[in-house]
Chain A
Amino acid sequence: MRKRRSLRNAQVITVLVMAAFLGLIGRLVFISTHDGEALLSRANRQHRSVIPIRSRRGKIADSRGFIFATTVLRRSVFADPKIIPDKQEAARRVAAILGLDAVELGDDLVAAGDRRFFVIQRGVTEAQAGRIRQSGIHGLGVFDEPARSYPMNGIAASIIGFVSPDGVGVTGLERQCDEWLRGENGHKTIIRDAGRKAFWLADHGYRPSRDGLHLILTLDAEIQAIVEHELLSAVGEYDAESGFAIAMQPKTGAILAMVNVPGFDPGRYRDYDPERYRNRTITDPFEPGSTFKPVIAAAALAENVVRLDEVIDCEGGLWIVGTRRLHDHHPYGKLSFVDVLVKSSNIGMAKIGTRLGKERLYAYVKQFGFGEKTGIDLQAEDRGILRPLDRWDDYSVTSVPMGQEIAVTAVQLVRAFCVFANGGMLVQPHVLRAVLAADGRIVNDFSNPPPVGRAISEEIAETIKNKILLRVVSSGNSRAKLSNYQVFGKTGTAQIPKRGGGGYERDAYVGSFVGGAPARNPQVMVLVSVRRPDRSLGYYGGTVAAPAARRILARTLAYLQIPPDDPPASVNAAQATRPVD
């Protein structure tokens, strides 16, 4: 009897438990079929948070790994205006910590309305961030965000460019290579408890970020600094409006330095006139003046229209061609062809241009890469101005050999001079050397691009360099001369054309020097141009640009440890190239 009761009790309990389970299962089925989705999404909203994992933007470094641009984490303060109980009181307290205007901040918070995220201040100090956290103001927080940093400040700014506050490239390589540099953000989905404390990483809720690729440039920060320093000195000394300079390896076309003065600091780009952001060495064409004469001389020699020792009548400084009167800066009588270039006679060159004729002149100018983009790996390159042959008039054959009726960019001109330094090849100027992955693996190798083609024969190139350009610098009192290296080059002084045509501006000049060293085996080619110097202080290329080019060559060759051509007797080459200790 007792046993039977016990059995019945057990059966009742089991039935009850089973009924309870069935009830639960039924309720579960009801919830999941009836309003399961709505409840699930509500729960997700309450418990899940997707936290972005920011990728790190790639670095931009010079050829030796010195960093021009990198990324740091910046601490910033934000507000969730919707949940701040008293916005004016919060603004008063925050403003006191961050040193802001309390009234203005209060108005901003009110204006933000129901926005859930409002950045109060970016880039706060660690101490300020700590005080914000300790203040316990409801609806306020501190977050970290990547920010671009330019450790060398303004060095190479016009090439590097800068990014907007949200990390998008705006100018320069930052913009051009944005796709490589920016990487890809990741995220993690976390589940929070009732106290909003993270306690669970959701299934498949983690996707790591992919950092951006690094850019390695052909620029050398040290040479860039040298060129910037010397160009700035020249622009300051002659009270000029601006200047630009390039240092290039003549055999490879690798740009070692590219400078624009005045420049800007990419970390504070808003403080500068946007006009300064431009890389004027590739965007602004100018009349090359006498620096263009070696190009025509090479064409004349190649076409055998003149001999090196031929004597040319420079007409005593005035030559009338049709209705046009050509002048030389100094009156010359009869000069050898070499002296026409050494003394930079316009009349002598005009006569050589006449002998060449339009077609051959035009063909050689094109062969040296003028009138076309060089194809340098930087955006916004200008092609310069070279009028099509059918728009040349009868005077063009006299104007072009003097460096008039044509406009070139600095990079076109320095590349043309590289032709004389490398045996006649037209090289491909380039700034990008390689693209590296975050782990250092080479993704793209741009070093040593093949030359564009041959501009002139090796023999003509050597002749122009050794018989003409070397003499331009070594004879007389050239300010580009160095005692221990043989420098070759050419000065030029050009007037600035009026905007919209119609002649030239009065007393407005561009003084330039293009040259290289050591002549025996050229390693560096330099162009320096000083625009609108104060005429009373000097305006000739030989006065305003050549000294800066000389100092750049001297310091760069010493830095690169290039053995001198002719070391003084007391100094041997080993000592002369001893590294800095």
Chain B
Amino acid sequence: MTVTRGMLVLFLMVVIGVAIVVTREESARAANRIHKLHGEQTAIEQRLWKLETDMARLRGPEEIRRRAMLMGLRVVPPAARTGAAADGRAH
């Protein structure tokens, strides 16, 4: 075996080693990014769930009635507004 051949073998081994390191580094970077994205996804989900709950609370009939009263509005069923006795007044 000549020195040149020996050097070539060493060089190839170094190249393969570097390639492995670079691949591993890329994989690690990607895994880290996935991990971070999961974290972000959780944070966004948390906000989404909270907003969804807030909206459900605001859409609730009792909450609508309460806010209407605070604003000085009367929530009246449509038939009652037309003069029919849908407000339940008995004969």
Mark A residues whose CB is within 8 Å of B. Answer: 6-7, 10-11, 13-14, 17, 53, 56, 66-67, 70-73, 144, 149, 151-153, 155, 188, 190-191, 198-201, 221-222, 224-226, 477-485, 547, 550-551, 553-555, 557-559, 561, 564, 567-568, 570-571, 575-580
B72 on the A face (CB < 8 A): no
Is there contact, CB below 8 Å, between A72 and B49? Answer: yes
A484-B85, A580-B78 are known contacts. Are A200 and B31 too (CB-CB below 8 A)? Answer: yes
B56 on the A face (CB < 8 A): yes
Is there contact, CB below 8 Å, between B46 and A70? Answer: no
Is there contact, CB below 8 Å, between A72 and B79? Answer: no
18 new A-B pairs (CB below 8 Å) besides A10-B3, A481-B91? A14-B6, A56-B49, A66-B60, A70-B53, A73-B45, A73-B46, A144-B46, A152-B57, A152-B61, A190-B31, A199-B28, A200-B31, A225-B62, A481-B90, A485-B86, A547-B88, A547-B90, A553-B88
Q: What B residues does A221 contact at CB under 8 A?
A: 60-61
Give the shortest distance, in Å, between B24 (CB) and chain A (any CB). 9
How many A-B residue contacts, CB cutoff 8 Å? 149
Is there contact, CB below 8 Å, between B32 and A199? Answer: yes
A73-B46, A199-B28, A558-B78 are known contacts. Are A571 and B83 too (CB-CB below 8 A)? Answer: yes
- Cα A13 to Cα B9 with chains together (Å): 12
Of A73, A547, A567, which is within 8 A of B49 by CB?
A: A73
Give the shortest distance, in Å, between A220 (CB) and chain B (any CB). 9
Of B38, B54, B60, B88, which is within 8 A of A482 by CB?
A: B88
Give the shortest distance, in Å, between A523 (CB) and chain B (any CB). 14
Contact code string B62-86 (vs A, CB < 8 Å = 1, else 0) = 1101000000000101111111111
Q: Which 7 residue pairs spanning A and B have beta carbons closest together?
A: A558-B77, A483-B85, A151-B56, A67-B56, A225-B61, A554-B88, A551-B88
Give the shortest distance, in Å, between A23 (CB) and chain B (any CB). 16
27 sample A-B contacts, Cβ–Cβ < 8 Å, listed by A number:
A7-B2, A10-B2, A56-B49, A70-B52, A152-B57, A188-B38, A198-B32, A198-B35, A199-B28, A199-B31, A221-B61, A222-B61, A224-B61, A481-B90, A482-B88, A483-B91, A484-B79, A484-B85, A485-B86, A550-B90, A554-B87, A558-B78, A568-B84, A576-B78, A577-B78, A578-B81, A580-B75
- Cα A547 to Cα B34 with chains together (Å): 62
Of A198, A479, A547, A554, which is within 8 A of B85 by CB?
A: A554
Is there contact, CB below 8 Å, between A550 and B88? Answer: yes
B23 on the A face (CB < 8 A): no
A478-B90, A554-B85, A554-B87 are known contacts. Are A11 and B35 too (CB-CB below 8 A)? Answer: no
Q: What B residues does A550 contact at CB under 8 A?
A: 88, 90
Q: What B residues does A190 contact at CB under 8 A?
A: 31, 35
Q: What B residues does A200 contact at CB under 8 A?
A: 27-28, 31-32
Q: Which residue of B lies closest to A61 (CB)?
A: B56
- Cα A483 to Cα B89 with chains together (Å): 8
Is there contact, CB below 8 Å, between B88 and A6? Answer: no
Q: Which residue of A lies closest to B81 (CB)?
A: A578
Give the shortest distance, in Å, between B15 (CB) and chain A (any CB). 16
Q: What B residues does A558 contact at CB under 8 A?
A: 77-80, 86
Is there contact, CB below 8 Å, between A570 and B61? Answer: no
Q: Which residue of B lies closest to A53 (CB)?
A: B38
- Cα A150 to Cα B27 with chains together (Å): 43
Q: What A residues does B61 contact at CB under 8 A?
A: 152, 155, 221-222, 224-226
- Cα A555 to Cα B76 with chains together (Å): 9
Q: What B residues does A149 contact at CB under 8 A?
A: 53
A10-B2, A149-B53 are known contacts. Are A201 and B90 too (CB-CB below 8 A)? Answer: no
Of B27, B57, B81, B88, which is within 8 A of A151 by CB?
A: B57
Is there contact, CB below 8 Å, between B59 and A73? Answer: no
Give the shortest distance, in Å, between A66 (CB) and chain B (any CB). 6
Q: Which of B6-34 contact A (CB under 8 A)?
A: 6, 10, 27-28, 31-32, 34
- Cα A420 to Cα B87 with chains together (Å): 26
A222-B61, A558-B78 are known contacts. Are A483 and B84 too (CB-CB below 8 A)? Answer: yes
Q: What B residues does A10 contact at CB under 8 A?
A: 1-3, 6
- Cα A483 to Cα B27 with chains together (Å): 76
Q: What B residues does A226 contact at CB under 8 A?
A: 61
Q: What A residues does B65 contact at CB under 8 A?
A: 225
- Cα A7 to Cα B76 with chains together (Å): 105
Q: Which residue of A lies closest to B49 (CB)?
A: A72
A198-B35, A201-B35, A551-B88 are known contacts. Are A155 and B60 too (CB-CB below 8 A)? Answer: yes
Is there contact, CB below 8 Å, between A482 and B86? Answer: yes
Q: Which residue of B lies closest to A558 (CB)?
A: B77
Is there contact, CB below 8 Å, between A479 and B90? Answer: yes
Q: What A residues does B28 contact at CB under 8 A?
A: 199-200
Q: Which residue of B lies closest to A575 (CB)?
A: B82
Is there contact, CB below 8 Å, between B82 and A576? Answer: yes
Is there contact, CB below 8 Å, between B53 and A72? Answer: yes
Of B6, B31, B80, B85, which is within 8 A of A201 by CB?
A: B31
- Cα A48 to Cα B51 with chains together (Å): 34
Q: Which residue of B lies closest to A197 (CB)?
A: B32
Of B3, B52, B79, B90, which is within 8 A of A576 by CB?
A: B79
Q: Which residue of A lies closest to B27 (CB)?
A: A200
- Cα A373 to Cα B42 with chains together (Å): 45
Give the shortest distance, in Å, between A18 (CB) and chain B (any CB). 10
Give the shortest distance, in Å, between B33 (CB) and chain A (any CB). 10
Of A6, A56, A152, which is within 8 A of B56 by CB?
A: A152
Is there contact, CB below 8 Å, between B88 and A13? Answer: no
Q: What B residues does A579 contact at CB under 8 A?
A: 78
- Cα A567 to Cα B84 with chains together (Å): 7
